[in-house]
Amino acid sequence: MSGDELADALALANGHRDGHREGRRDGHRDGHGEGRREDRSPGPDRPDRPAHRARHHDWPAARAAAARAGAGRRPETAAVPLDAALGHRLAAPLTALTDLPAFDTSAMDGWAVSGPGPWELAGPAGGCHGVLAGDDSPSPLPDGHAVRIATGARIPPGTTAVLRSEHGEVRDRRLRAPRAPQHGADIRPRGQECGTGDHLLPGGTPVTPAVLGLAAAAGWDELPVVRRPRAEVLVLGDELLASGLPEGGRVRDALGPMVGPWLAALGAEVTATRRLGDDAGALHAALAGTTADLVVTTGGTAAGPVDHVHPALRRLGAELLVDGVRVRPGHPMLLARLPAGAHLVGLPGNPLAAVSGLLTLAEPLLRAATGAGEPSDGRDGPAPRPPDAPLLGEVHGHPRDTRLVPVVQDGRGVRPLRFSGPAMLRGIATATALAVVPPGGAPTGAGVHLLRLPWA
């Protein structure tokens, strides 16, 4: 019995099949062919293999390698109109180009008043519309006078306060109130929020709808942003159907519709999702001609007869940064640097295993590349951070590999979900996070770190 088989047998003895023994050697393709029988025969697209594969990274080390790869990318910046800036990150600090507000304004509908009152309504318009938002130069307000004013309107010179509509009463062109407002009441003074040149947001801040509103108010028409990494998804596998029900031994492609939006949620600009089947030549051509910063493949990362990712990378002269990770599901994932500088994340073909690959390799790479900071991966550093939440149920572990388990979080902790096999999406579709379970498993009540999903 090999070392891998012995480890899987130990996992079975612990009562957990580890996702139907992902990476088994029985020749079953199990979705995209993860764990297919190795073909050692050379061919035009399959040069002689080395005698052994590179040693797998442990899970924290794989995350760290992916973050280093992303941090090595030289970010491109551009000035883009506000309506195109959403989802990017600021390439420079955001400063105010004007005072906010730019002039004294009324905070309420009511009357601008001068003095303690009662007040005589000023001018023929005093009892009608008065001063509206957008009026440029309202007439000065003499002492003892009042004029109607709208929220956001410029305060007339001489105004001492704004009297709210519900607090005043007009009779015979005289405005009266039970008590006079305090000096400056309901007036937003010029520069109350910020002054010209004030620092509003640091560089690297995600551009959210609220940031767009602040930038517009502060006078910006375009924003300097870090361009999102361009990503391309290549879906591999002849057994995949793009529509309809599974038939004739073929299955629906679950990753094509999922991976692109997931990458977009992580900060990438997804330029294409292409289905290549099990075509070694098409895969080589796609990788050789890509203009993306990140290529993500689905399936074909193992060593079976139609697993073409490794041969294509060797033929291109790519550098393997991570070649397998000690994590379940998803251990055949890989990370490579293509000769032109783009990175490739090779995801296993099983759907939940592919999600594991996205969160293990693609997320830290994109976070580092977009300036989003270090991922929260639970690695022990000089000051290890405490676990995120306690488990509300026992999770069986793999003897030597980290497990990523879909969980739902509530006020008491996180509850492991039932459908957590490598080919299953039912659990992750309702999950709020993946729990990071160390080798050997974790009992009920044990603290675990969480990989939170981008939309949870």
Domain-embedded: residue 309:
yes
Give the end of a domain, one of 160, 189, 218.
189
What is the model's pLDDT at position 384? 65
H/E/C letters for each residue in 174-223?
EEECCCCCCCCCCEECCCCCECCCCEEECCCCECCHHHHHHHHHCCCCEE
If asked whether residues 84 and 219 sit together in one domain, one would say: yes
Q: Which residues, other chains included, contact 320 with Cβ-Cβ below 8 Å and sequence gap of 6+?
A: 54, 313, 334, 335, 336
Give the end of a domain, one of 369, 402, 424.
369
The Cα 74–Cα 14 span in angstroms is 47
Residues 162-206: tens digit of each pLDDT = 999 999 999 988 999 998 899 999 999 999 999 999 999 999 899
The Cα 316–Cα 339 span in angstroms is 7
H or E stretch including 366?
Answer: helix 363-369
If asked whether residues 37 and 135 sit together in one domain, one would say: no
What is the model's pLDDT at position 383? 55
What is the model's pLDDT at position 434? 96
Range of the domain at 399: 389-452
Residues 104-128: tens digit of each pLDDT = 999 999 999 999 989 999 865 444 5
Give the end of a domain, one of 138, 165, 189.
189
What is the model's pLDDT at position 411? 87
Domain-embedded: residue 398:
yes
For residue 357, give the CATH number of its domain.
3.40.980.10
What is the model's pLDDT at position 374? 54
Average pLDDT, the chain: 85
If asked whether residues 351 and 303 sit together in one domain, one would say: yes
The Cα 36–Cα 322 span in angstroms is 20
If asked whether residues 161 and 275 sit together in one domain, one would say: no
Confidence of residue 75 (pLDDT cuts 50, 70, 90): confident
For residue 212, give the CATH number of its domain.
3.90.105.10
Domain-embedded: residue 236:
yes
Domain-embedded: residue 381:
no
What is the model's pLDDT at position 55? 59
If asked whether residues 212 and 108 sit together in one domain, one would say: no
Domain-embedded: residue 183:
yes
Residues 365-388: tens digit of each pLDDT = 999 988 776 544 444 444 567 889
- Tell me how many domains the chain contains: 4
Confidence of residue 327 (pLDDT cuts 50, 70, 90): very high
What is the model's pLDDT at position 22? 39
Domain-embedded: residue 379:
no
If asked whether residues 267 and 327 sit together in one domain, one would say: yes
For residue 437, give the CATH number of its domain.
2.40.340.10
Domain-embedded: residue 384:
no
